[in-house]
Structures are given as C-alpha cells and as structure tokens.
C-alpha cells in the first residue's frame, strides 16, 4: 500500500525525447545547504526496467552539472540526498519503497511518473490509480518539458497528424474527423499502419505547414513531445488541442501555435489555416519567437535526474503532501 503520499516535488516533461514526468517527493526531511559537497541522487529502480550506463561522472561530463553523483546502487541509500522512485514499478509491485530502512533526516524522496493525467478512462485500471497521473506545473519545482527554440513555407494548407493510439472517443479524433472534410490531412503512425521512424518523423512533419499537436488527454500542463519536438523542431506551425490557451502560453510563446479552441468550429479553423497558407508573412510570424528563444529537449533519464541537483536547494523543507490526489485534482 502507498504510505502517506507526500511532498515536495517537481515536474519535468520529457521522455526519451521528451515525455512528461513529474517528481513528487514523499515525506520530506529538513533542508541542508549542500554547496560544498557532492549531492548523491539515487535512482531506486530504473523506469520501465531500462537501465542506462552511469559510468563516470555523467552529470558533469555529459550535462555540465558538477557535484552531482547519479547512482542506481541502492547500497548508497544511507548517504543519498535524494532517492527517486518511478511510479510504474511501485504500482506494479516490481519495486517498493524502503519503508523498513531508517531514513536520513535530510533525505528527500522524489516520486516520478510519466503517465498522463486522467487518460480519458479508456483503462479502468488506470482510473483507480489516478493518484499517479499528476503532471502539474504548480508542483514545488515546475520544470516544463522543453524550452522554447527554424522553418519552411509550403503554400499548402496541408496538415499532418501522427497518431498511434486512435480512439473515436478522444476529443482529438472528433476534431480530426471534422477537420479532414475541409483540408487535406496526412496521417501517419501506427493507427493507419504508417509508422514513422525516428529519423523520418521530423523531416516528414517539416513537409507540411501545420502539425496537429493533439494530446490524447486534456489535462493541465499536459503538453508533450507532440509540441516540443514534433512541431517546433520540424518547423511546422502546431495546431494544438490540449489544455487551455493560457496554460499553453504559460509554457510556450503565445504566438507560436494555433489553438483549436480559438475557433467556434472546425470549419472556421480550416478556413483560417487555408488563409494562413496563402499569406507568407503572417505564417512566418508564427516563427518570430525563435529569434529570442530556443528549444531544449531532454535526451534521456540521466539528464533529467542530474537536473535534480540544480533544483535541489529550492526544494522546500518539510513539506508533505497528505493528499496527493487532492492536490492534483484541485
Ligand atoms: C565530487 O565528485 C567528484 C567526481 O566524482 C570528485 O572528483 C570530487 O572530489 C568530489 N568532491 C567532494 C567534495 O567530494
Ligand atoms: C554499491 O555501493 C557499495 C557501497 O559503496 C559498494 O560496496 C558496491 O561495490 C557498489 N556496487 C556496485 C555494483 O557498484
């Protein structure tokens, strides 16, 4: 059973290329300043049992973060400053919290989950563990998944959608089915058995003016690699469906995307896209933000774990979330 679920936390979106993840720490201890010594970040188990090499001083050598020892050696528990628990293994019982071990007073526990929030309940099992589906930027240390970051103009209103898990019940499927009556939409992904390889994804998207960055789940701060990687890196203007416009604007430049909810119908949205595709200047305005921002995406778990050292001193002391579920759903 899950103990008093607790604490300080932070959110971080990404996946191997960017997926959303969120860290909650469980049951915080007291705060110490650790500037003069190395911090030890212990990963209690590898997410989805897929380990990466931790040889050498990874955080410093790979990511320029000195003084940060990243380890998966559980023997280091007594001296770890932070212990990270990935939720999937806790939920499936492949791993467990070390509740039987004495916990150093200043040690923080971070809970981390990749799973999207309230995934429109296609899976009843997932619903019972809603607790796990937290992806909030108002966590103690919000770390949005990418940072803001070139492009081509094609003069066609063609849009592209990459979808693997298609469900007619998803809001995004309904928007797609309606939109396709008005503009051509190229569809790739496992749904239509037209998967794109990692190498072909970005160039394929870059061939279209518009990329449908439709999230499968509409939830606060749930903005995934569909936007960060697929659209922005490919240089297509993203048409987004997900949380509210203001939620997007809190994370990405306001002039960088088209929000489905800005239009009262998909017909109007289609008309707007058609018009934009004939107006190079206006289309290019969607890329102006690149003069002042660039996108940072995360390559693998190690980089994200090393980043814990950067935010470590900002983790609040003695903060306990007694009602994680309530926090997430307020
Ligand atoms: C921190 O770790 C680095 C790399 O392992 C090591 O060279 C250095 O001596 C350590 N510093 C302290 C204060 O322990
Ligand atoms: C784990 O850490 C312990 C304690 O420092 C050490 O004795 C052991 O060799 C380490 N195990 C591995 C696999 O590195």
Q: Does any ligand 1 atom lie closer than 6 A to the CB of residue 34?
A: no
Alpha carbon distance 232, 225 (integer Å): 9
Residue 136 in contact with residue 186, Cβ under 8 Å?
no
Q: In testing the pocket of ligand 2, which one of 46, 56, 73 has its CB within 8 Å of the most ligand atoms?
A: 73
Per-residue confidence (pLDDT) for residue 180, from 0 to 100: 96
Query: pLDDT digits over 272-327, tens only?
Result: 999 999 998 999 899 888 777 766 666 678 887 888 888 888 776 666 655 555 54
For 147-297, CATH gives 3.40.50.11660
* Strand order through the sheet with 258-259: 185-188, 159-162, 210-214, 237-241, 258-259
User: Active site includes 89?
Assistant: no
pTM of the model: 0.56
Q: Whose CA is nearest to atom 6 of ligand 2?
A: 75
Q: Does any ligand 2 atom lie closer than 6 A to the CB of residue 76?
A: yes
14 beta partners = 19
Q: Does any ligand 2 atom lie closer than 6 A to the CB of residue 75?
A: yes
Mean pLDDT across the chain:
73
Query: pLDDT digits over 126-182, tens only?
Result: 222 222 223 334 444 333 333 333 344 555 668 999 998 899 989 999 999 999 999
Annotated catalytic residue: which of 55, 115, 294, 303?
Answer: 115
Per-residue confidence (pLDDT) for residue 159, from 0 to 100: 92
Q: What is the dihedral of CA 81, 87, 90, 96, to 10 degrees?
A: 0
* DSSP H stretches of helix in 191-300: 198-206, 225, 232-234, 245-251, 266-276, 280-284
**What DSSP letter does each residue of 252-269 carry, written as one string?**
S-GGG-EEGGGSSSHHHH
Query: pLDDT digits over 213-252, tens only?
Result: 998 877 777 777 778 778 887 888 999 999 999 988 887 8
Q: In testing the pocket of ligand 2, which one of 75, 79, 80 has its CB within 8 Å of the most ligand atoms?
A: 75
Alpha carbon distance 263, 268 (integer Å): 6
Per-residue confidence (pLDDT) for residue 22, from 0 to 100: 34
For the ranges 141-145, 204-208, 259-263, the lowest mean pLDDT is seen at 141-145
Kindly list the distances between the CA atom of residue 58 and the CA atoms of 12, 29, 40, 303, in Å, as whole numbers in the listed order: 19, 27, 12, 9
Enter the DSSP assignment of 202: H
Residue 264 above 90 pLDDT?
A: yes
Residue 144 in contact with residue 13, Cβ under 8 Å?
yes
Q: Whose CA is nearest to atom 13 of ligand 2?
A: 73
Q: Coil, strand, or helix at residue 69?
A: strand
Q: Which of 117, 218, 226 is closest to 163 using CA atoms?
A: 226
CA angle 119, 123, 128 (to 5 degrees): 85
Q: Does any ligand 1 atom lie closer than 6 A to the CB of residue 71?
A: no
Kindly report the number of other CB atoms within 10 A of residue 313's CB atom: 12
Per-residue confidence (pLDDT) for residue 75, from 0 to 100: 97
For the ranges 128-137, 180-189, 191-200, the lowest mean pLDDT is seen at 128-137
Per-residue confidence (pLDDT) for residue 167, from 0 to 100: 92
Tell me how far the alpha carbon of residue 43 lies from the centroid of ligand 2, in angstroms: 14
Residue 212 above 80 pLDDT?
A: yes
Per-residue confidence (pLDDT) for residue 71, from 0 to 100: 96
Query: pLDDT digits over 21-54, tens only?
Result: 333 333 233 333 444 689 999 999 998 888 999 9
Per-residue confidence (pLDDT) for residue 256, from 0 to 100: 92
* DSSP H stretches of helix in 144-217: 171-179, 198-206
Per-residue confidence (pLDDT) for residue 298, from 0 to 100: 60
Residue 260 CA neighbour count, 13 Å, CB half: 20
Alpha carbon distance 81, 313 (integer Å): 11
Alpha carbon distance 221, 300 (integer Å): 20
Q: Which of 269, 281, 192 is closest to 238 using CA atoms?
A: 269
Residue 221 in contact with residue 136, Cβ under 8 Å?
yes
């Amino acid at each position: 059973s899950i103990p008093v679920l607790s604490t300080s936390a932070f959110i971080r979106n990404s996946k191997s290329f960017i997926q959303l993840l969120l860290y909650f720490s469980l049951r915080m201890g007291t705060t110490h300043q650790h500037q003069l010594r190395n911090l030890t970040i212990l990963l209690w188990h590898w997410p989805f049992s897929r380990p990466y090499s931790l040889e050498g001083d990874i955080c410093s050598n790979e990511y320029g973060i000195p003084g940060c020892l990243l380890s998966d050696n559980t023997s280091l528990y007594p001296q770890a400053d932070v212990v990270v628990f990935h939720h999937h293994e806790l939920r499936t019982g492949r791993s467990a919290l070390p509740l039987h071990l004495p916990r150093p007073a200043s040690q923080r526990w971070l809970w981390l989950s990749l799973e999207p929030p309230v995934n429109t309940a296609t899976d009843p099992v997932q619903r019972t563990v809603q607790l796990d589906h937290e992806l909030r930027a108002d966590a103690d240390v919000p770390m949005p998944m990418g940072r803001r970051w070139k492009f081509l103009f094609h003069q066609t209103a063609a849009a592209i959608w990459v979808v693997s898990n298609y469900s007619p019940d998803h809001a995004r499927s309904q928007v797609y089915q309606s939109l396709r009556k008005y503009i051509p939409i190229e569809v790739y992904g496992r749904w239509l058995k037209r998967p794109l390889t990692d190498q072909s994804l970005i160039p394929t998207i870059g061939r279209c003016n518009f990329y449908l960055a439709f999230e499968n789940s509409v939830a606060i701060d749930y903005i995934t690699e569909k936007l960060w990687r697929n659209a922005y890196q490919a240089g297509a203007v993203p048409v987004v469906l997900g949380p509210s416009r203001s939620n997007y604007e809190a994370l990405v430049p306001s002039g960088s995307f088209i929000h489905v909810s800005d239009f009262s119908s998909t017909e109007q949205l289609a008309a707007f896209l058609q018009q934009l595709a004939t107006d190079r200047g206006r289309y290019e305005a969607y890329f102006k933000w690149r003069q002042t921002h660039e996108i940072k995406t995360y390559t693998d778990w190690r980089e994200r774990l090393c980043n814990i050292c950067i935010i470590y001193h900002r983790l609040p002391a003695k903060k306990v979330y007694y009602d994680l579920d309530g926090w997430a759903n307020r």
